[in-house]
Amino acid sequence: MSRYTRLFDRLARERRGALVPFAVLGYPTPARSLAWIEALLPHADALELGLPFSDPIADGPVIQTASHEALAAGARIDSGLATVSRLRAEHPELPIGLLVYANLVYQPGPERFYRQVEAAGADSVLIPDVPAEEAGPYVAAARQAGLAAVLIAPPNAPEATLALIAKLGSGYTYVVSRSGVTGTERGAGRPQARLFETLRALGAPPGLVGFGISSPADVRAALAQGADGVIVGSSLIEKSRDPARLESHLHALAQATLRTVD
């Protein structure tokens, strides 16, 4: 049984949704990255960590800037995976997902890349610029290495694509609640209950909603529509210079993951 499965089982018993902070590995610098991620942990049910990339086309300005700052400060794949290893050693039960753009997987080759990721202790890999139709070789390499392959389900995907996502995906399904890229500029959108119903009927892994989640109301709305949790990224980075504000923001988001008895 995987860490994700155990997490979702436990959250179901506790009648809660998952709060999954996203952080850029190596942000703000490789040396300070671990401290930044640890600040997010008190309220984290799992982590989604991005390896910084020069051309992150699925990300809005906040995560782009954080990625470029990390690279300029010397972030590399090795230093990012070393941070994952440290987190794994200290938090043996915490599910850790990796978000990585395709060319970073392509250069070493998927087999070698996934072996390194598995050795570092991560549980899953998500490639935002590899859609389901191109995902076959990557999913196979992930399974070979014992990693879950997370796929993205957007609101406009036809049912055939959702079926492929359900078949290929594992760990969790990254449900995008609205069009566009990551960031708080355009709000969170309202995920459609239908999308969750379809994914569930197709046997897809539990759905976590990302893109634009920045308030407790966003969290409650996502859970009410059928999400199993939320991923929050840009709104955390926006508060990175104010630890007290970050802590109260995370606390409020975590409170909103409690499902009200209905």
Partner 1 sequence: MTIPTAPAPHPGRFGRWGGRYVPEILVPALDELDRAFRDARADPAFQAELAGLLRNFAGRPTPLTRCRNFLAGSGLEIYLKREDLLHGGAHKTNQVLAQMLLARRMGKTRVIAETGAGQHGVAVALAGALFRIPVRIYMGATDCARQAPNVFRMKLFGAEVISVTAGSATLKDAMNEALRDWAASYGDTHYLVGTVAGPHPFPTLVGEFQRIIGDEARVQFLEQTGGALPDRVVACIGGGSNALGIFRAFLEDPDVALVGVEAGGAGLASGRHGATISGGRPGILHGAETLILTDGEGQILESHSISAGLDYPGVGPEHVHLHETGRVHYELATDDEALSAFRQLARDEGIIPALESAHALAYCQRLARTRPAPARLLVNLSGRGDKDLAHVQAGLEENPP
Q: Which residues would be at the binding site for partner 1 (CB under 8 A)?
A: 53-58, 60, 64, 68, 71, 76-77, 101-108, 128-134, 151-158, 161, 165, 176, 179-181, 186
Alpha helix (H) residue ranges in the chain: 3-14, 30-40, 61-72, 77-90, 102-106, 110-120, 136-145, 159-168, 193-201, 216-225, 234-237, 243-255
Residue for token digits 């915490």? 94
Residue 93 is a catalytic residue? no
Instruction: Provide, rounded to whole angstroms, the least separation between the CB of residue 22 and partner 1.
Output: 16
Residue for token digits 């796929």? 151
From CA 243, how far away is CA 20, in angstroms rounded? 18
Lookup: tokens for 169: 């995906």
Q: State the catalytic residue, choosing from 9, 45, 55, 59.
A: 59
Q: What angle do CA 207, 194, 140 make, to 5 degrees?
A: 40
Instruction: Provide, rounded to whole angstroms, the least separation between the CB of residue 232 and partner 1.
Output: 19
Residue nearer to partner 1 on the CB measure, 96 or 175: 175
Residue 59 is a catalytic residue? yes
Residue nearer to partner 1 on the CB measure, 54 or 248: 54
Instruction: Provide, rounded to whole angstroms, the least separation between the CB of residue 143 and partner 1.
Output: 20
Residue nearer to partner 1 on the CB measure, 19 or 139: 139
Closest listed residue to residue 236, CA positions, set 24, 75, 15, 13: 24
CB 75 within 8 A of CB 49: no
Instruction: Provide, rounded to whole angstroms, the least separation between the CB of residue 148 and partner 1.
Output: 17
Burial class (CB in 10 A: 0-12, 13-18, 19+), 167: middle
Residue nearer to partner 1 on the CB measure, 11 or 188: 188
Q: State the catalytic residue, choosing from 45, 48, 218, 228.
A: 48
Instruction: Provide, rounded to whole angstroms, the least separation between the CB of residue 197 and partner 1.
Output: 19
DSSP of 136-181: HHHHHHHHHHT-EEE-EE-TT--HHHHHHHHHH--S-EEEE-SSS-
Residue nearer to partner 1 on the CB measure, 96 or 130: 130
Active site residues: 48, 59
